[in-house]
A and B are shown apart, each in its own frame.
Chain A
Amino acid sequence: MTAKTKVLSLRQSAEATPMPALLKLLTIVTLVGFCITLVLGLLVAGTDIQQGEIQRIFYIHMPSFFGAFTAFGLTVVGGILYLWRKSEGWDRIALAGVEVGLAFALINLVTGAIWARPIWNTWWTWDPRLTSAAIMALTYAAYLMLRAGIEDEARKRSFMSVYGIFAFTSVLVTLFIIRVVPETIHPVIVGASPQNAQGGFEATSGVVMALIPSLLLWLTLMPITLIWHRVRIERRLEAVNRLKMQILSE
């Protein structure tokens, strides 16, 4: 390929392309679903008479963790498939998964802290689950820092795939830590709460009714839609960067 045609093709892939129909559909369904879950959680579900209005944040707090779980899970999948197939697309999915998952993990942490203030009377406590959730977020912040620190493109992709696979252990630790470290005060809504959990509430049918749609939305549609959009931007970004290199080298 001559330099000229290469520049042309790079420029073409850096241009914004129209959204595929499926992505359009996904975006609309996600937006509508998000509104529905908000209506269900904020207006339709009854107020918890023990905790008051703040209990409603649970319809975002728990789903956002599972959204992060999906996003970070896609990072693992993307990493494994990149190492296997060496196709850049998988690495883009892995990177997008980290960014989206990190945003979700932050939402999870922040909503948890704001909930804890009226219920536990403290913004933050060094509880095993809170600590591991914070470390999970830090792990993926470290991912982004590491990624920014590696210059060689191919090396960056395969190294970060490896790190993305290892980083998932922090997600698993957060998920399972209440099963192995019993002295947490974090309540479990589905399943048996630890003895000393504080601020649990009953998963009545009203709660479940508002929770399940929200959980399904954050678990599937939200991360997938956001990751897809991010992947499309990353593809253009890479093309622009290569275009710059190409022009500079001419």
Chain B
Amino acid sequence: MKTPFRTAVLAIVGKDLRAEIRSRELLSVMAIFAVLCILVFSFALELDRGAREEAISGVLWVTLVFASLLGFNRSLALEGDQGNLDAMLLAPVSRSAIFFGKLLSNYLFTLIVALVILPLMTVIYNSNLLKGWLILTTVVGVFGFSSIGTLLAMLTLHTRSREAMLPIAMLPVALPLLLTAVRASTNILNDAPAREWLLWLQLLAAVTLIYLALCWLLCGFVLEE
């Protein structure tokens, strides 16, 4: 008999959290990478006040995507290398439970990184990023990236040179998410009226939902032996 879906998902999330609390391997790498990214961008783009307002949401999302790529690769590689994934596949849980467990833990870690860099960027770029709607956009967008990223990380797990493959596979597919998320957050940051960004936020939510549904339908095929 199979373990109930919710129990299985929570067990996997719990396992990842416990492992993370003990090793602090994943979050620290992602966070340090994200902070470095922000600093490098501010030097590389020589952001003055005008350019900053234009580029800031782009910097935010590119940083988040790169940091999450790093995290997804690492988190799945840990599962794969130590035979954890095979063990989970042997356990009487549904495939989608494994997928959603990994998705949720990946999402949690990326979200924590996002919530760290938002106040950090507020300080470094001297522009208020801690707006309710922007945080909502981040919460939704990061979920979209996490779902597609987790699926593709499972897919690239078995390829040669998987570290290089995940960005190549994920960045083009994540384009609709990136496009809508950057549009929405630029307009929110510039204090534009709601009608200018609400559509983008809705589009982002719609794309996220579509990707989530696709991932849910297709994760079974990716998690075969």
Do chains A and B directly touch (beta carbons under 8 Å) in the complex? yes
Q: Are A159 and B155 in contact (CB under 8 A)?
A: yes
List which B150-187 residues lie within 8 A (CB) of chain A.
151-152, 155-156, 158-161, 165, 168-169, 172-173, 175-176, 179, 183
Which A residue's beta carbon lies closest to that of B156? A146
Contact of B8 with A by CB under 8 A: no
Residue from A132, A152, A154 within 8 A of B175 (CB atoms): A132
A165 touching B172 in the complex, CB below 8 Å, given contacts A146-B165, A149-B160, A158-B224: no
B177 (CB) vs chain A CBs: closest residue = A169
- Chain A interface: which of B23-31, B48-56, B107-115, B214-222? B214-222
A239, CB-defined interface residue at 8 Å = no
- Chain A contact residues: over half helix, strand or loop, or mixed? helix
Please state if A139 and B158 are interface contacts (CB–CB under 8 Å).
Answer: no
Q: Is A237 an interface residue (CB 8 A)?
A: no
Asked if B169 and A169 sit within 8 Å, CB to CB, the answer is no
CB-contacts of B172-225 with A (<8 A): 172-173, 175-176, 179, 183, 203, 214, 218, 221-222, 224
**Most chain B Cβ neighbours within 10 Å, of A135, A159, A163:** A159
The one of B159, B168, B169, B218 that contacts A165, using a Cβ cutoff of 8 Å = B218
Task: Please measure, in the bound complex, the distance between the C-alpha atom of A181 and the C-alpha atom of B179, giving whole angstroms.
Answer: 10
- Pick the contact of A162: B159, B172, B218 (CB < 8 A): B218
Query: CA–CA, A139 to B159, complex, Å?
Result: 17
Task: A145 to B221: give the CA distance in the assembly, Å.
Answer: 20
Query: Smallest CB-CB separation from B210: which chain A residue?
Result: A169
**Interface residues on chain A, number (Cβ under 8 Å):** 29
A19, B28: Cα distance in complex, Å: 60
Interface contact B221-A139, CB-CB below 8 Å: no
**Do A170 and B224 have beta carbons less than 8 Å apart?**
no
- How far, in angstroms, from A158 to B168 measured CA to CA in the complex? 19
Question: Is B148 part of the binding interface, using a Cβ–Cβ cutoff of 8 Å?
Answer: yes
Q: Are B165 and A165 in contact (CB under 8 A)?
A: no
Give every chain B residue within 8 A of A173 (Cβ-Cβ): 175-176, 179
CB distance from A174 to the nearest CB of B (A): 10
Q: Which residues of B contact A151 (CB under 8 A)?
A: 158, 160
Bound CA span A63–B74, Å: 43
Check A142 for interface membership: any CB of B closer than 8 A.
yes
Contacts of B159 in A (CB 8 A): 146, 149-150
| CB <8 Å contact, A146 and B221 | no
> How distant is the Cα of A86 from the Cα of B221 in the complex, in angstroms?
11
Q: Which residues of A contact B161 (CB under 8 A)?
A: 149
Q: Which residue of B lies closest to A172 (CB)?
A: B176
Residues in B whose Cβ lies below 8 Å from that of A162: 151, 155, 218, 221-222
Contact with B along A221-237 (1 / 0, CB 8 A): 00000000000000000
Nearest-neighbour CB distance to chain B for A241, whole angstroms, equals 18
A158-B224, A162-B221 are contacts. A146–B175 as well, Cβ < 8 Å?
A: no
Question: Within the complex, which residue of B173, B203, B214, B218 is in contact with A170, where a contact is CB–CB below 8 Å?
Answer: B173
Q: A83 near B: Cβ within 8 Å?
A: yes
A68 to chain B, nearest CB (A): 15
Q: Which of B175, B176, B222 contacts A158 (CB 8 A)?
A: B222
Give A15-74 interface residues, CB cut-off 8 Å to B.
Answer: none
Task: Say whether B214 contacts A166, CB under 8 Å.
Answer: yes
A163 near B221 (CB under 8 angstroms)? no
Q: Tell which of A83, A132, A146, A161 touches B169, judged by Cβ atoms closer than 8 Å.
A: A146
**Considering the chains assembled together, what is the distance between the CA atoms of A167 and B218 in angstroms?**
13
Contacts of B224 in A (CB 8 A): 154-155, 158
Compute how far the CA of A166 lies from the CA of B207 in the bound complex, rounded to whole angstroms: 12
Beyond contacts A155-B224, A163-B152: 8 other A-B pairs, Cβ-Cβ < 8 A, are A83-B221, A145-B165, A151-B160, A159-B155, A172-B176, A173-B175, A173-B176, A180-B203
Residues of A within 8 A of B (CB): 83, 132, 135-136, 138-139, 142, 145-146, 149-152, 154-155, 158-159, 161-163, 165-167, 169-170, 172-173, 180-181
Residues of B within 8 A of A (CB): 148, 151-152, 155-156, 158-161, 165, 168-169, 172-173, 175-176, 179, 183, 203, 214, 218, 221-222, 224
Q: List 15 A-B contacts (CB under 8 A).
A: A138-B172, A139-B173, A146-B169, A150-B159, A155-B158, A155-B224, A159-B158, A159-B221, A159-B222, A162-B222, A163-B173, A166-B151, A169-B173, A169-B175, A172-B176
